[in-house]
């Protein structure tokens, strides 16, 4: 792809540049306000060579745009000392948080422009290189020895062809594709720019920066030395760009040799992207028809849950037995959680279920077992205005536990395919595509190293009715029962259909569902603690 740009093209004079620039900027300023009013978000990823002027190109644009609806996020280099490899990962490397979390957190609302100065592709390369160093030191050493036997300039192509690197890059490319596709589907425009300069220009610029006392700190000796491997890096960049040139988020190669040429090309690209997005006005009628898909692109386990309320539910009859089992499983969890903390393994416990099924009491007994500093409970009330202005998974990407801690979710991201589906808060198109979006989210969490347990707290309609009536009759519990609870009960067939689709489309090998039989709350609490303990032991003691 990089060969698309003629780096020897003539440079522009200021006189040639200014009138064209002013016209483009005038258009862009108007388009920014129109996009803001219509809720069209713009994500601009600026990748490129060291010394190519990525930051300067962003700064030139920021000066012209409405700062109230524009933000810049600078991706820092990975610190290998902070990154940690979790046991059992198939690829990549993890740290205190998943690779994509920083980009989700930095994402502006629909209607805003978010510039990323370097982004998920730079991070992917860093994660792959460090991950290979930690996970496959012998194989990486063999590859390095093979590379040293090749002339400088031919090494990059060989690295790109290497199965060791290719497979790992491919996995991260899928993560990037998931992210970009989700943004586009949710009303964002994704513009990906690669600022390209020649080997000669890169070396000249970096040397000039290093000789200037005000900018020398920006250029390390190692970065200067790496200019000798420009041709090798060229092959790797070209391979990465080609493989991620998605039709919904293509790359634009920017000629960074001349700042005037680069500024005009970038401004023109943004103008055209916003014009296309604002001209597209999908008919509301197309939003009203959708069904849950027949299958998922992720492998679904064959024994996903099928709820059958005609079968008699298990119980723990004696309080003494329950108290003894509860004490035993809580002590077991407490010990495992301390070990989990030391090994920096994150644990995510997600609860969904019927109203009055006992989710709160179950969560309480789980949290009771461990130090209050070790966990955080994340409820899922109605989304706030900022949350509604982002993709639906944004509020969960920004609410992840730290490595070694426990995150407990009292209702969750599954609201999109449950209550939002049934009550019409999400369009059919939105909830229909959410199943695979959720699977992709959970896949990234488990690849990060998280243990993810998804609990469906189940109760029969008869038992639910008895609990509703008991709450309504008890002055100390009437606050637990609302008109909405009774209304939801009347929609039981619609919710049951949504639950069945949820199990059918999100019971993956990496994140299966566990049904907690909660007609007897005591039984469900023990069942949850046992599932948690077994999952922790499987990870920590293998």
Rounded CA-CA distance 37/28 in Å is 14
What's the pLDDT score for residue 287?
52
Rounded CA-CA distance 33/274 in Å is 11
Q: Span 427-434, mean pLDDT?
A: 95
What's the pLDDT score for residue 223?
84
What's the pLDDT score for residue 371?
96
Which residue, 43, 161, 155, is CA-closest to 104?
43
Per-residue pLDDT at 94 exceeds 70: no
Q: For 101-160, what is each residue's pLDDT tens digit?
A: 999 999 999 999 999 999 999 888 877 766 666 656 677 677 777 877 888 778 778 877
Angle at which helices 230-243 and 163-185 cross, to 10°: 50
Domain map (residue ranges) of the chain: 37-276, 316-540
What's the pLDDT score for residue 150?
81
Per-residue pLDDT at 93 exceeds 50: no
- The residue with greater pLDDT, 482 or 89, is 482
Per-residue pLDDT at 86 exceeds 50: no
What's the pLDDT score for residue 356?
93
Averaged confidence pLDDT in the chain: 90
Rounded CA-CA distance 146/88 in Å is 28
What's the pLDDT score for residue 239?
87
Q: Are 357 and 457 in contact (CB under 8 A)?
A: yes
SS3 271: helix
What's the pLDDT score for residue 49?
93
What does the block give as tokens for 398?
Answer: 């920004």
Class (C level, CATH) for 37-276: alpha beta
What's the pLDDT score for residue 182?
97
Per-residue pLDDT at 163 exceeds 90: no
Helix (H) or strand (E) holding 353: strand 347-353
- H helices present in 291-449, as ranges: 319-342, 359-368, 385-388, 394-397, 419-423, 428-448
Confidence of residue 289 (pLDDT cuts 50, 70, 90): low
Per-residue pLDDT at 284 exceeds 50: no
Cα–Cα distance list, 196 to 250, 258, 458 (Å): 16, 10, 56
What does the block give as tokens for 504?
Answer: 């059918």
Rounded CA-CA distance 287/525 in Å is 41
What's the pLDDT score for residue 137?
67
Q: Span 355-359, mean pLDDT?
A: 94
The matching CATH number, chosen from 3.40.50.300, 3.30.420.10, 3.30.160.20, 3.50.50.60, for 316-540 is 3.40.50.300
Per-residue pLDDT at 92 exceeds 70: no
Q: For 27-84, what is each residue's pLDDT tens digit?
A: 999 999 999 999 999 999 999 999 999 999 999 999 999 999 999 999 987 665 554 4
Q: Span 468-476, mean pLDDT?
A: 91
Confidence of residue 302 (pLDDT cuts 50, 70, 90): very high
Strand 513-517, strand 451-458: pairing:
parallel
SS3 292: coil
- The residue with greater pLDDT, 346 or 1, is 346
CA dihedral 241, 246, 250, 251 (to 10 degrees): -10
Q: Are both 37-276 and 316-540 of the same fold?
A: yes
β-bridge mates for residue 377, sequence order: 408
The beta strands (E) that lie in 10-146 are given as 41-48, 70-74, 113-117
- Please return the burial class of 92, using the count of CB atoms within 10 Å of its CB with bins 0-12, 13-18 and 19+: buried
What's the pLDDT score for residue 88?
36
- The residue with greater pLDDT, 542 or 37, is 37
What's the pLDDT score for residue 22?
96
Per-residue pLDDT at 349 exceeds 60: yes
């Amino acid at each position: 792809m990089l060969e698309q740009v003629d780096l020897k093209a003539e440079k522009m004079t200021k006189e040639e540049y200014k009138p064209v620039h002013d016209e483009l900027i005038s258009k862009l300023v108007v388009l920014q306000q129109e996009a803001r009013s219509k809720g069209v978000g713009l994500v601009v990823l600026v990748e490129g060579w060291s010394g190519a002027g990525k930051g300067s190109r962003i700064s030139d644009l920021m000066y012209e745009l409405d700062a109230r609806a524009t933000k810049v996020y600078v991706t820092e280099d990975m610190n290998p000392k902070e990154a940690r490899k979790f046991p059992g990962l198939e690829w990549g490397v993890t740290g205190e948080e998943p690779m994509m979390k920083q980009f989700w957190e930095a994402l502006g609302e629909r209607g805003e422009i978010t510039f990323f100065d370097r982004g998920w592709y730079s991070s992917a390369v860093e994660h792959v290189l460090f991950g290979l160093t930690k996970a496959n030191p012998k194989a990486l050493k063999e590859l390095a020895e093979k590379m040293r036997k090749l002339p400088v300039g031919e090494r990059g192509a060989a690295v790109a062809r290497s199965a060791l690197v290719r497979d790992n890059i491919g996995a991260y490319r899928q993560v990037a594709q998931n992210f970009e596709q989700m943004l586009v589907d949710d009303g964002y425009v994704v513009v990906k720019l690669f600022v390209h300069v020649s080997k000669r220009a890169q070396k000249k610029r970096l040397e000039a920066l290093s000789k200037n006392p005000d900018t020398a700190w920006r250029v390390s000796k190692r970065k200067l030395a790496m200019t000798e491997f420009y041709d090798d890096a060229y092959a790797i960049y070209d391979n990465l760009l080609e493989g991620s040139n998605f039709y919904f988020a293509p790359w634009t190669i920017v000629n960074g040799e001349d700042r005037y040429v680069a500024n005009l090309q970038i401004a023109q690209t943004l103008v055209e992207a916003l014009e296309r997005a604002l001209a597209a006005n999908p008919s509301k009628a197309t939003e009203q028809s959708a069904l849950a898909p027949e299958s998922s692109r992720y492998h679904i386990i064959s024994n996903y849950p099928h709820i059958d309320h005609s079968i008699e539910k298990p119980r723990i009859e004696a309080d003494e037995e329950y108290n003894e089992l509860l004490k035993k499983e809580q002590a077991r969890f407490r010990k495992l959680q301390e070990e989990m903390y030391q090994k920096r393994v994150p644990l995510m416990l997600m609860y969904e279920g019927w109203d009055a099924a006992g989710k709160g009491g179950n969560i309480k007994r789980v949290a009771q077992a461990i130090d209050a500093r070790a966990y955080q409970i994340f409820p899922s009330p109605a989304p706030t205005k900022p949350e509604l202005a982002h993709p639906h998974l944004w509020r969960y990407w920004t609410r992840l536990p730290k490595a070694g801690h426990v995150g407990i979710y009292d209702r969750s991201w599954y609201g999109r395919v449950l209550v939002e589906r049934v009550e019409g808060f999400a369009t059919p198109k939105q909830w229909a595509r959410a199943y695979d979006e959720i699977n992709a989210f959970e896949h990234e969490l488990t690849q990060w190293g998280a243990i993810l347990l998804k609990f469906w707290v189940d109760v029969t309609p008869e038992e639910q009715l008895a609990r509703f009536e008991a709450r309504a009759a008890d002055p100390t519990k009437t606050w637990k029962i609302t008109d909405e609870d009774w209304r939801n009960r009347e929609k039981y067939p619609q919710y049951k259909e949504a639950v069945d689709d949820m199990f059918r489309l999100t019971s993956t090998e990496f994140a299966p569902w566990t049904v907690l039989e909660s007609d007897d709350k005591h039984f469900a609490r023990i069942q949850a603690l046992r599932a948690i303990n077994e999952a922790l032991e499987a990870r920590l003691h293998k």
